[in-house]
Structure 1
Amino acid sequence: MNKKNVMMERMSWPEFAAEAKRNPVVFLPCGSTEQHGPHLPLAVDALLPTALCRDVAEKVGGIVAPTLSFGYKSMPKSGGGPYFPGTLNLDATTLIATVHDVIRELVRHGISKICAVVGHYENQWIVTEGIDLAMRECGATGLRVMRLEYWDFCTEETFSQVFPDGFPGIALEHAAVIETSLMMHYYPDMVRLDLIPDHAPADFPPYDMFPPHRDWVPSSGALTSAKGASAAKGKIMAEQVGKDIAAAIVKEFGS
């Protein structure tokens, strides 16, 4: 038996209209197009929140809106920066306006419960500003919005399984074990196992420079080793994170 389609982009307008009448939670994946080392595709930050949103939407009867596939500017200390070919950056005002406009349009179609799922580290506060502006415009309609970063849902127990030698911190995890493992779980055909980098973590000073120092970032684009990644670790994270995000959705929006 086929699972019910939860992806808005694959629905016809009558199908979406019928679904909207149920007052479902609509998930908005907020990603980017950014280098993720030689072993992962440019779309990692869009692909992963989309897959997680689909999983959670299937659990809670939600809908997944089309993914925002361009994000705020990649920074050297968290995403490698702008020097890698294929990284396409938006100005903050562009992303703020996009998030605001998409939420406003969903509200226009009768949606009142939205969950913005951030998959790109640099997007966090930019997406928040877009949500805040949408709330100012549409709050009187009863609109409620949740914003989350999926990696924040990883528990200490999960991290102990994924990082038996200790968790290096989320900023250094760009193109490393978390993202590589999740990609191996969700999109194994997109991971080049033969090109997974293995090098020491980047060592950044406690400040930023503009223009950025290109030589701060390892030449691979990964900020630490991804050699410990595996599909099994990706499955552990996907299942635990998906379950706990679904629980948060039910807590805040009801079943």
Structure 2
Amino acid sequence: MAEITWTEYQHRIKEESPVVLIPVGALEQHGPHLPMGTDHLIPTAISRLVAEEVAAIVAPPFNYGYKSQPRMGGGNHFCGTTSLDGHTLSIMLRDVIKEFARHGVRRIAVMDGHYENMMFLIEGIDLALRELRYEGIHDLKILRIEYWDFTSNETLTKVFPDGFPGYALEHAAVMETSMSLYLHPHLVRLEKLPDDPPADFPPYDVYPLNPAWTPASGVLSPAHGASADKGKNLIDEYVQRIATALKDEFPGI
């Protein structure tokens, strides 16, 4: 969307009734080997590939997200991790959705790449739909997608032949490293992969947060075994399954 003119955009909205894909991520440490923009780089790349399969326009990504949490992102104490208050993220998404509706967009998919964003994106979607109904717009439909939910058991077995450690520990680990190696290998520093053992968190949170719970590298599970081939398997599956979901929910695209 940021790379086309407003007249081209207007024409496509009127003639194609496309889905507008909104990638949402974060600026968050991803260990010494992955870029801090990983959580928006991956959903943006997936969105661009999905837009090759269906009638879709990729909006500029939300590069900042909700505060990193220790048991899923290492924690907000790392240098470089730059976060929004939840209310700020909700209001930003609300405003953008309302603007797209004003343009005539009636099909939107929010493509999240940062788990901590989830409830605040739901709030932003709910606020936008509620306010648009007051303004007489009742035909806007929105999907909220977390790409990892489209991972099949077959693909997990290929990526983790020795067993899947679980999504909670996959921060900057095999999946994100593999996808990054496939999508933007020039941003990956494989020579800096840490050797920390998997993080071992208690089944509760403490406030103020205790930084000692998180490995010093910020990586929650070893990324050794990551490869571009594994990344391609993951990305190919996400693109095809997400494109199918969009076609199911938005006939004719």
Residue 119 of structure 1 pairs with residue 113 of structure 2: yes
Q: Is the 8 A contact 2:32 2:193 kept in 1?
A: yes
Distance, in Å, in 1 between the alignment partners of 2:50 and 2:243 is 6
Segments of structure 1 that go 5 or more residues without pairing to the other structure are 1-7
Q: For 1:60, which of 34, 54, 59 is the aligned residue?
A: 54
- Residues 138-180 of structure 1, C-alpha deviations (whole Å, 9 max, x = no match): 2433000000100010000000000111111111100001100
Counterpart of 1:189 in structure 2 is 186
**Which aligned pairs between 1:211-226 and structure 2 lie closer than 5 A?**
211-226=208-223
- Residues 167-206 of structure 1, C-alpha deviations (whole Å, 9 max, x = no match): 1111110000110000000000000010112331100001
Counterpart of 1:179 in structure 2 is 176
Distance, in Å, in 2 between the alignment partners of 1:82 and 1:25 is 33
Q: Tell me by how many angstroms 1:241 deviates.
A: 1.0
Counterpart residue identity of residue 245, structure 1: I
- Residues 70-124 of structure 1, C-alpha deviations (whole Å, 9 max, x = no match): 0001001111111111100100100000010000000000000000011001011
Residue 201 of structure 1 pairs with residue 198 of structure 2: yes
Q: Tell me by how many angstroms 1:131 deviates.
A: 0.5
Counterpart of 1:24 in structure 2 is 18
Residue 42 of structure 1 pairs with residue 36 of structure 2: yes
Q: Secondary structure at the match of 2:149?
A: helix
Q: Is the 8 A contact 2:65 2:89 kept in 1?
A: yes
Q: For 2:163, which of 166, 175, 187 is the aligned residue?
A: 166
Distance, in Å, in 2 between the alignment partners of 1:212 and 1:198 is 24
Residue 13 of structure 1 pairs with residue 6 of structure 2: yes
Distance, in Å, in 2 between the alignment partners of 1:137 and 1:144 is 14
Distance, in Å, in 2 between the alignment partners of 1:110 and 1:177 is 40
- Residues 186-230 of structure 1, C-alpha deviations (whole Å, 9 max, x = no match): 000000010112331100001111111111000110101001110
- Number of aligned residues: 248
% same residue: 51
Distance, in Å, in 2 between the alignment partners of 1:128 and 1:171 is 20
Question: RMSD of aligned C-alpha atoms?
Answer: 0.8
Segments of structure 2 that go 5 or more residues without pairing to the other structure are none
Q: Secondary structure at the match of 2:119?
A: helix
Counterpart of 1:3 in structure 2 is none
Distance, in Å, in 2 between the alignment partners of 1:251 and 1:36 is 34
Counterpart of 2:131 in structure 1 is 137
Distance, in Å, in 2 between the alignment partners of 1:249 and 1:196 is 36
Distance, in Å, in 2 between the alignment partners of 1:100 and 1:148 is 16
Counterpart of 1:95 in structure 2 is 89
Q: Secondary structure at the match of 2:35?
A: coil
